[in-house]
Structure 1
Amino acid sequence: TSLWQVITDDGPVLSFNTYNKCMHAFSNPEDVPFTGTDDDPNDEQGVGVGGDYEFIIVDAPEDASYMMLKGKKRGTYNLLTPVEEGVEYESYLQDIIDFNNMYFPADAPTYDLVYFGEDIYKMEGANDGIPNIYPFDGDPVANESFNPFLITKRGEDYYLRFRDAQEVGEDKVQDFRYDKEKDAFVSVENANYYITGNKAADFFYSTIIGEITHSWTFSATSTTMSDEFATLYNNIVADFASIDYTLKAMSFQYNNEKLTFRVTCTYREKQGTRWVQKTANYNYTFKAEQNGDNVVFTYEGTDNAGQLVINKFPSVNTIVQTIANEYTITPAVTSLNLKYLRFTNTANDKIWFDAEYK
């Protein structure tokens, strides 16, 4: 906290004229110690991080619905909106944090798509609020352009506002409202400008054919599967239980050299009065091919260990044969967060399951 006052200086100016540990951390003209290297110290002395502590009041309507400020020294515009009456500030901030974590997760390395009219851009690294936005076919380094933004909430709507207006030709856009039906942030200035996620099938396929492949997991306790698929899965759980094993999870990881899916079962084995957690890996060979928004899994066999499991537990063979089909891949929650994907059998839409990226 600190003192503040409105002074007359080049019009009405809001000044935080005593030390404020939040405001002055950005406005103090000191070197930023954690930037640069020994060879290139990147000295910011005299500039700091380029913030302000005094702001020209550009607009402040009588209904107090918002206030537009402009940094006196740096010229950065800041839109202030009041927290709604009855809403606790801490709750509001947690709501914003939860929304940001869901729609811009740090642990799903995919990109978002920015549509500026007919032009398409990639937006990478949005989880930290400073994404790199560059032409879709461009190089992320040669064409890098970092564009800070903040998420706010007004009523029931969430907004994404870039610090600086995005200019495309003669158009300028800065504020985007999240449209749940379209699953996109749509510009409030021009509806032809919007931000959405990458295609789910493209992202999934890239994770199983790249140099570094990843696993997709569903849990024995998961509720994110259809009743028909849950029945198939629970049959495996029951088979494990028949020999005093408790199946906890199954994961599928594609080996792009051997063209196999390694199925990892995590289970607990009863040893006397104790339960010991163990894992076992089984290789089932599938051919995976992308077909537009779908992926086709073709089963081609297994190794000796995998065959022994099939012989012992017919339920495993049933689910393997069920997976060996064509599946439509869609976001389980939102295209902006492809950590969770839904796989729906194209021949029977009552067979579907959600999987989590690991």
Structure 2
Amino acid sequence: MIRFENVTKRYRGTKRPALDAVDFEIERGEFVFLVGASGSGKSSCLRLILREDTPSDGRVLVLGRDTRSLSDRRTPFFRRSIGAVFQDFRLLPSKTVTQNISFALKVIGRSRAFIKSAVPEALERVGLEGMGKRMPHELSGGEQQRIAIARAIVNRPQLLLADEPTGNLDPTTSVEVMRVLEAIHAGGTTVVMATHEAGFVDKMQRRVLELRGGVLVRDEMRGSYGDTSAVSTLRAEPERGAAAIAALTAALDVQREVAGPAAEPDSGGDDIRPEPSAEKTAERAGPDDVAAEAVEDERAHESADIPEAETESAEEDVAPEDEAPSRSAFPAVDVHPDELGMADRLGLPNRDDDEVGPTS
């Protein structure tokens, strides 16, 4: 079906040929992948097959015809047996899905009856039946590519050329498009696909033609994409500047949380020290301090026998602890606690014994 015989293709303004003495043959009903880096000559092969270009040297035979011997007037008739799918869809934005697909049939003069039956059939083959009235902008990228495939196969071609048909699609949508192409191939159509998708090539295990610098370096049946070790990969760069400071600060915060509060110095509170024993405290305290503490103990003992209301009144007359003067400001009183009356012990003013009134 397709034969390249020592084909060389040169373009003006370039020193190295796009294709250099390429030889291969593709049989009817095959599914062939053209692989290679950008600029290796894949698209040039497809252009020669479609007769968008002619070889500088050698011969290209497609469907039994030498493309160099075809006149420009006969080329449209030659292309009726070839369908083409491109990376950028190439749909007419002002026409519906049905009009986009039928446009190619109208150009070649197909009858209305054929168009009416062929368009729904093509939509069904790509899984988009019932979408004929939609506009291209109403469809997703994968749906637009499937419409482009439907347009390419609506005339039931013998050969389908696909130039990076999944290049603008996400991985999930690319799988859907590849399933459509595989179903078309299963129907008897020969498929030649140029691609960079190594995953699809490795999984499908079809025939692989690898080009490198315009030279055919591999022709392998049930082959894989090939060596990808030369493809550079991205590596993480060390953080610098403000990003490095932020990363270091975050790491220190995590380290403090893991270490716990014991690892941090206690700068906000008072030092907590064990209280000395009673004997050592008495040794360090003077006689004045001992007498004052005895008076306080006696007051605390007597307050347990006083009604709650009187206790509250007494508490109201006592200044808060923060506002009370320090103990050293009062002179020590050398009086035994037993000689103090109840009012003196509680710090209340003296009253007449006969005066009776509410304790509040």
User: Normalising to structure 1: TM-score of the pair?
Assistant: 0.21
Instruction: Considering Cα pairs closer than 8 Å and 6+ residues apart, tell me whether 1 or 2 has the greater RCO.
Output: 2
If you compute each CA radius of gyration, which structure gives the higher value, 1 or 2?
Answer: 2
Q: Which has the higher strand share?
A: 1
Q: Which has the higher helix share?
A: 2
User: Normalising to structure 2: TM-score of the pair?
Assistant: 0.20
